[in-house]
Structure 1
Amino acid sequence: MNPFNFSRSSSSSSSSSDERRSSRAIIDQEIDDFLTNIVHPLAPTLISNVTPTPRNRRAKVTDDNEAGHSRPNRGRVEGHRRLFNDYFADQPVYPARLFRRRFRMQRHVFVRIMDNVIASDEWFTQKRDATGQLGLSPLQKCTAAIRMLAYGVAADSLDEYVRISESTTRIALMKFTKGVIKKFGAEYLRRPTPDDLARLLRFGEDRGFPGMVGSIDCMHWEWKNCPTAWKEQFQGRGGVATLVLEAVADRDLWIWHSFFGIPGSCNDLNVLHRSPVFRDVLEGRAPPVQFTVNGNQYDKGYYLTDCIYPNWATFIQSVTCPHTLKDKLFAQHQEGARKDVERAFGVLQSRFAIVRKPSLAWDEEILNDIMLSCIIMHNMIVEDERDTYAHYADTTVFNTNTSNNGDEFEYYHDRIVDINQYMANRDAIEDQHVHHSLKRDLVANIWQKFGGNSN
C-alpha cells in the first residue's frame, strides 16, 4: 500500500510543466509576430512624431503644390505685377473711378503719399530674403497699409491679393502711419494761416455767423483690446472702453484741430479742460479776429457747439427750447452749421473704416498714429477734391493781408512770460456777459439776413 501515491503525483506535475511551456512558447511566438509585423514598420513614424523640432530651424520655401507645413511660396513678384497692372499701369485694368472707391483717394494723391513714405523709411525698400528670392515691393507694402486703414480688415485677409503675410502687414501699417505723420503732419495738421482764417470768416459770414471759425465736437473710438487694468478708466456710457477725439472742422470738412487720447470716461466738457484748442489764444499767438454783428464789434472768434459746452465768449450754442420765430430760425441755422464737424466725423469713418470699427491694437501709441494719419490723409483728400464740392467758392477772393504794410502774422513758440496777460486772455475767453451779448446779436443778424425768406 502506498498512502502517499508518489508515482501519480510525479506524473501530474510533469504534465502541468509541459502545458506551461507550451503556453509560454505560444505567447512568445505571438509577441515576435507583433514586433515583426506591427512595431518594426511603425517605429520610424512613432519616433519622428515624439521627437521635438528645434524652434530656430528655418523653414524651407516650397511650391504651393508641395505638401507639408513649410512656408508657402506666395508669388510676390507675380502679385506685384498684377497689382501694378490693375491700378497703376498707363492703361490699368480698373478705371480711376474704381481706384478712388477702393483706395479712398485719387491715384496721384496715393502716389504722392507712397513716394514720401518710402523716402522716409528704408524698410519699404525692396530686398531679397534669406533664400535669395525677391521680397515685397514698396507698392505692395503701402497698398496693404492703405487697405487696412480703408476697410479695417484683419491683417491676414490681404495675403490672397497683395501676397503679404499677417505679421508683415502689421509692420507695414505701423511704419506707414508714422511716415505719413512725419512727412505731412506739419502741413495738414497746421493751425489756420491768415489766408485760411480769412476764408473761414468769409464762410461764416455767408451763413449768417460773422466771426465763426468752425464747429467743435468729440467722437469716441472703441478700444476692444484695452488692457484689463485700464478698462474701467476708459469705459464710457456704452459700457465699452473708448478713446476720445476732439476736433474742429469747417464747411469743407477740413479738420483744423485734433486732440486724441483722452479716456472715454470723460465727457466733452472734461476733454475741453485738457485740450490745447485755446492755447494759442491764451498765450497770445493767435492772429487777431475782429468782426461786427448787429452794430457791435467783437475781437475773438468763436465755435459753434452743442449744449454741453459752457457759456463762454468763444462758444455759441443753439437755443434749447425756442419759442419765438427769431429763436427758431437761429436754432435752425446754428444746428445746420454745427453739423460740419459731425459730417467730418462721418466722412472720416467712412473713408477709413479702421476708426469706425473696434480697434484691435494693444498699444495706445499705435492708436494715436492711426488716428492722426487718417486725419492727415482726410485733409489731403479734401484739399484735392474741394473744388468739386457744390457751390464751392474760389479761394483767391479770400487772400487778404492782416496789416496795412502786408506783413503776415507769424506764430511763435516761445514760453509765455507775462502771466497777467495770460490770465486776462483766459478771462476774456470765459466771459459769459460777452457770450450772451454775442448770442443776442447773432439771433438778430440771422433774422435780418434770412427772416424774409419763407423757405
Structure 2
Amino acid sequence: MTVASSYRFDPPPPRPRKKRTVVRRDREGGAERLHRDYFSVEPVYGPQFFRRRFRMSRELFLRIVNALEVDPYFQQRPDAIGRLSFSPIQKCTAAVRQLAYGTAADCCDKYLRIGETTALECLKKFCKAVVRIFGGTYLRRPTTADVQRITAMHEARHGFPGMLGSLDCMHWGWKNCPVAWHDAYTRGDQGEPTIILEAVASQDLWIWHAFFGVAGSNNDINVLHQSTLFNYVLAGHEAAVHFLANNSHHTRGYYLTDGIYPDWPVFVKSFQFPNDEKKRRFKVMQEAARKDVERAFGGV
C-alpha cells in the first residue's frame, strides 16, 4: 500500500439550512393606509404632496392605473386561500416610488407592505405595460396630422410659422453610476457622472424626440451627430411643412436652438449681438419660445 492510498478523505458535513423567515405582511392594512393618505375624498396628503412624491398629478396616476388594469398582473384577484392580492394602486405605487426616488425595492415594504421580490416584479411589469399600452400614442414621431397641429399651435402661440419644436440637451445626473464607469460619464464642468439627453419639445410639452448620448465628453454637437433626429429626413420620410416667411415659400420645418448648434437651414438661432430693434425683438421672441424645451426638462 502506498502512502497516498493510506489517507481517507471524508466529505464535509452538510451545512445547516437557514431557517426561512416568514413575514406576515398586512397587505390589507397597507392598501387601506395608502387609500386614506392619498386617494380618499379628504386625503391626509393633498395634491401638492402627491405631485412631489409621485412626480405626477393624482389624475394622471389614476389614468395610468385604470389603463394597466387590462393586464392580468395588475388585476386584484383572490389567491389559493381566498385572500385578495395586492391592489392595482399598491403595485403601481411601488413601481412609481422606485422610479421617482431611485430607492431600493425593499423600501416599499415598510409602508406598502410589499416585499422586495414583489416590488421588483411590479417595477418590471409596470414599465413593460406602460410602453405596450401608451407607446403607440406617446413614444412615436409626429404624423402628418401631428405636424400640422404642432406648426399651427406654434404659429398661434409664438408667432413662428413652420416651427416643429425646440431642440436642446441637458445633463441628467447619474447618482448610482457604477464606479468603473465614472470617468467615462463625467465631464469636467459637471463634476459628477451624467447622461446627456437630447430632446425636441413642443409648446404643449410633448417630447417627441429623445436620445441619450453614449459615454464620453459629450456636448450638444457630439450628440447631434450621433442621434436619430434626422434619420427620417435622410430616409425620405419627412412630413412636408408648407409655410410663408419673408415672402418666400418653404417646404421644410425647423427647430429653435441656441448658438452652439451648426448653421443648418433646419435650425433657427437668435442673434448674438442684435444691432437694431427688429433683431432685438426677434431675439426676445426666439429665446422666449425656446423655453418650451426647458419647461419640458423641468418636468422630467
TM-score with structure 1 length normalisation? 0.56
Cα distance, 1:152 vs structure 2: 4.3
Q: 2:176 and 2:102 mapped to 1: Cα distance?
A: 15
Q: 1:179 and 1:112 mapped to 2: Cα distance?
A: 13
Aligned residues: 284
Judging by fraction of residues, say which structure has more helix. 1
What does residue range 120-139 of structure 1 map to in structure 2 within 5 Å? 120=71, 122=73, 128=79, 135-139=85-89
Q: Does 1:218 align with 2:181?
A: no
Deviations 1:172-211 (A, max 9, x none): 2232122211211121112223332222212332323211
Match for 1:58: what amino acid? R
What's the counterpart of residue 209 of structure 1?
160
Cα distance, 1:313 vs structure 2: 0.5
Query: Aligned to 1:168, which of 118, 124, 128?
Result: 118
Distance change (3 Å), C-alpha of 1:94 and 1:225? closer
SS at match of 1:262: coil
Q: 1:161 and 1:247 mapped to 2: Cα distance?
A: 36
Q: 2:110 and 2:160 mapped to 1: Cα distance?
A: 52
Q: 1:224 and 1:96 mapped to 2: Cα distance?
A: 29
What's the counterpart of residue 288 of structure 1?
240
Q: 2:173 and 2:30 mapped to 1: Cα distance?
A: 34
Q: Does 1:328 align with 2:280?
A: yes
Query: Aligned to 1:342, which of 278, 289, 294?
Result: 294
Query: Aligned to 2:149, which of 174, 180, 199?
Result: 199
Distance change (3 Å), C-alpha of 1:154 and 1:122? closer
Cα distance, 1:120 vs structure 2: 3.6
Q: Which has the larger radius of gyration?
A: 1
Distance change (3 Å), C-alpha of 1:100 and 1:226? closer
CA contact (8 A) 1:96 1:107 kept: no
SS at match of 1:172: helix
SS at match of 2:290: helix
Q: 1:246 and 1:160 mapped to 2: Cα distance?
A: 37
What does residue range 59-78 of structure 1 map to in structure 2 within 5 Å? 59=21, 61=22, 71=23, 73-78=24-29
What does residue range 375-394 of structure 1 map to in structure 2 within 5 Å? none
Q: Does 1:117 align with 2:79?
A: no
Cα distance, 1:242 vs structure 2: 1.7
Cα distance, 1:150 vs structure 2: 3.5
Match for 2:283: what amino acid? A
Cα distance, 1:296 vs structure 2: 1.2
Match for 1:192: what amino acid? P
What does residue range 354-433 of structure 1 map to in structure 2 within 5 Å? none
Distance change (3 Å), C-alpha of 1:110 and 1:262? same
Q: 2:20 and 2:145 mapped to 1: Cα distance?
A: 59
CA contact (8 A) 1:96 1:106 kept: no
What's the counterpart of residue 94 of structure 2?
144
Q: Does 1:245 align with 2:208?
A: no
CA contact (8 A) 2:68 2:74 kept: no
Q: 1:123 and 1:279 mapped to 2: Cα distance?
A: 37
Cα distance, 1:93 vs structure 2: 3.6
CA contact (8 A) 1:248 1:255 kept: yes
Deviations 1:331-363 (A, max 9, x none): 111111111101110122xxxxxxxxxxxxxxx
TM-score with structure 2 length normalisation? 0.82
Q: 1:310 and 1:220 mapped to 2: Cα distance?
A: 20
Match for 2:20: what amino acid? R
Q: 1:322 and 1:161 mapped to 2: Cα distance?
A: 57
Structure 2, unpaired ranges of 5+: 1-13
Q: Percent identity among equivalent residues?
A: 49
What's the counterpart of residue 276 of structure 1?
228
Q: 2:102 and 2:194 mapped to 1: Cα distance?
A: 17
CA contact (8 A) 1:126 1:138 kept: no
Structure 1, unpaired ranges of 5+: 1-50, 62-70, 349-455
What's the counterpart of residue 158 of structure 1?
108
Distance change (3 Å), C-alpha of 1:52 and 1:92? farther
What's the counterpart of residue 4 of structure 2?
none
CA contact (8 A) 1:191 1:257 kept: yes
CA contact (8 A) 2:76 2:85 kept: no
CA contact (8 A) 2:47 2:58 kept: no
Match for 2:171: what amino acid? H
By relative contact order (CA 8 Å, sep 6+), the higher-ranking structure is 1
SS at match of 1:209: coil
What's the Cα RMSD here? 2.9
CA contact (8 A) 1:305 1:315 kept: yes
Q: 2:176 and 2:79 mapped to 1: Cα distance?
A: 35
Cα distance, 1:247 vs structure 2: 0.8
What's the counterpart of residue 261 of structure 2?
309
Query: Aligned to 1:54, which of 6, 14, 17?
Result: 17
CA contact (8 A) 1:124 1:141 kept: no
